[in-house]
Structure formats: structure tokens, C-alpha cells
Amino acid sequence: MMNRRVLVLNQDYNPISICTIQRAFLLVYFEKAELITKSNGSLLRTVNRSFPMPSVIKLRNYVNIPYKGVVLTRQNVFKRDGFECQYCGTNKDLTLDHVIPKAKGGKSTWINLITACKKCNTRKGDYTPDEIGLSLRNSPYRPNYVLFLRDFSGYAHDEWIPYLKTGTNN
């Protein structure tokens, strides 16, 4: 239980980091942060007291954090999409596809690039998915830094999802 991680939100509810249970507890105990979400009813126990185990905490004072973005690279698009074709779900012969083709003004951005297998990418060609009758399994989005950290650090908690989905639409 003590190896779980806790999502840390800034005062404005934007995710800024992931920390240990011990660090999160101290931040809450010394009133530097407030408990937002408990961890599935689990408790931290002392000799004579019990405290809810944190899953999400929010800092009481705003901390100015330099922008940490996820760099748009081929490998990072594959990671975001789970190394699966966003049309058929296969994990073989993967490439990148522009949802709105470059020939139709589509740009190389997080919200326009997806992982596609060569077969689906060839079938789609210079059409949009709607024009060719394909549907996306997941809408492309720009991952935020903490979401990316969570997904590739091995820590994934359902309680975090509402806070990690914010700010990922551009």
C-alpha cells in the first residue's frame, strides 16, 4: 500500500506532479495541501489515530511551475495511442496518420495525428475518416505532462482520471 503514488494538483486543480503516500500525507498533515480524493477507503494508521490514505491532493497555495509539455514525436503519439491502430486496433505495421490529410490542410499536431496500421492508412489515403467510412477508436488529444508521466511510470489510479483529462484538448 505504501508504494502507491498520489496525484498532486496545483491550487487551480491543474496536475503538477506525482508523489509518494508519505510525502502527500505530510503535505496534508502540515496543511500545505488538502485531501481531494481518498484511496479506496484505505487508512494510514498510527498508534492511536487513523487517517484516510490520499489519492489526490491539492496544494493550498498556487505554485508557479515552468511549462512542461510532452514533445510531439512519432514515438510519443504511439505511446498516447497505446501502440494500436486507432481504426482497427491492430499493433502490427504501425505508422502515423493525419486525421485531416495534409493535402486538405491538416497539420502535424497532437489533435490531428494518430497511430494507424499501414493497411488502414493506405485505405484512408487523402480522405478524412468520415469520407471513407472509418471511425476512430479514440479521439486524438494533446497529453498533459502528468498524464504522460502516469501512463508510462506504471502508476494508474481511477481516482486521477477526472483531473488528468483537463487541459488535454489542444
The pLDDT tens digits for 32-90 are 999 999 987 788 888 999 999 999 999 999 999 887 788 899 999 998 999 999 999 99
For the entire predicted model, the pTM comes to 0.61
CA angle, 154 as apex, 149 and 160 as ends, to 5°? 65
Q: Do residues 99 and 140 lie in contact, with contact meaning Cβ atoms separated by under 8 Å?
A: yes
Q: What is the pLDDT of residues 143-169, one digit of tens each?
A: 877 767 666 656 667 888 788 765 443
CA angle, 32 as apex, 30 and 38 as ends, to 5°? 85
Q: What domains appear along the chain, each with residue ranges and CATH number?
A: 5-67+144-164 (no CATH), 74-132 (1.10.30.50)
Cα–Cα distance measured from residue 13 to residue 36, given in angstroms and rounded to the nearest whole number:
10
